[in-house]
Structure 1
């Protein structure tokens, strides 16, 4: 396997999941500031021009949630067998992908939705409000214990961890969210996160 990633992006959730699964993988780091994600070389890997992309078994997988599901299929302990619990894990992942991640993206990726510079500034200014609202939802609805499903880690936790690392930079004060703080502390203690930090993949 080869993971194409950029530090600080959601692609690190995939790296954490790979570590949790005990799977061997190589990495290729993209420099977004240099536009590596838009290069002709990378467009062959992922024409979307985004990370993550995981090369595996002669194909390339994209979209974080889909890659996490793939990893869970290779390491069943990362997804519960109970269909309700599995659906709950996926519901958190889908919320993060469709709402909270998008809220964050408005800070630096306004060009995806509007052309006027004033619109970009307005979207950036809105980010602390929308990310705080998302953090409140996570606090109230997404954590059944130290992790999403309680005491057992699942693939949704890898996604949630990375999204929550963005909160301080998005102007969100974590003091009002004790469940999120407990979750982040638990994740930081996991060997997977420590390994990723040791490899310099996280900022």
Structure 2
């Protein structure tokens, strides 16, 4: 049994969708962020930085979204190329491209003051927007050019991870610097439009109030 420390519409979203897609039993431990639970001694014992998600597994406590997803995929032999598969290297390249580039730049768009302080928030937003445009264009171009099986219109670890990130980006108001609709990235949009109809995506989206099309038309 897995135990997922979670809060609605946070980075635990992708872990919930992957656990559900894999048909794995798990329990949710809701984290009361408003009450300061992330800073409690008990939670900091699970995650030293007080962030979400945390997943308690039979092999120990895990944090870091990409690490959790990779663990689940390898442990249950699904949603990504196996360690000895020829596509593994390419998959890992783009998984870590996502976790070390797209995900952190997204956080700059939502929390610019955390990167360089309140006085530099405007400059941070301008820089982060340009970065995000380049990153998503690079990903979309790769998908159009290579059409990898590990990120197709079927269920995949990469699809769910990118789907969560695009859920937040596409869900911003159009005048927000962090607004990036999936329609601007055709190859990506095609894959996410198929993935968001999966029972796992629909179940968790309904439970967390994310709308009928959580990746391409968030909150609609």
TM range (shorter): 0.7 to 0.9
Q: TM-score, normalised by structure 2?
A: 0.80
Determine helix, strand or coil for the equivalent of 2:62. Answer: strand
CA distance in 2, matches of 1:150, 1:172: 21
Confirm or deny: 8 A CA contact 2:150 2:156 kept in the other structure.
yes
User: Counterpart of 1:164?
Assistant: 166
Seen in structure 2, the aligned counterparts of structure 1 residues 31 and 24 have a Cα distance that, compared at 3 Å, is same
Q: Which consecutive residues of structure 2, in runs of 5 or more, have no partner in the other structure?
A: 173-177, 211-218
> Which of 164, 175, 198 matches 2:183?
175
Q: 30-39 vs 84-93, which deviates more?
A: 30-39
Contact 1:142 1:148 in 2 (8 A): no
CA distance in 1, matches of 2:196, 2:155: 13
Q: Deviations over 1:132-151 (max 9, x none)?
A: 22221121114654974435
1:97 to 88, 91, 99: 99
> Structure 1 residue 153 and structure 2 residue 163: aligned?
no
Q: How does 1:14-163 map to 2 (within 5 A)?
A: 14-57=15-58, 59-81=60-82, 83-115=85-117, 117-142=118-143, 144-145=146-147, 148-150=150-152, 152-163=154-165
Q: CA deviation at 1:191?
A: 1.1
Q: CA deviation at 1:99?
A: 0.5
1:13: which partner in 2?
Answer: 14
Tell me the distance in 2 between the aligned counterparts of 1:29 and 1:179.
35
**Structure 1: tracts of 5 or more residues without a match:** none
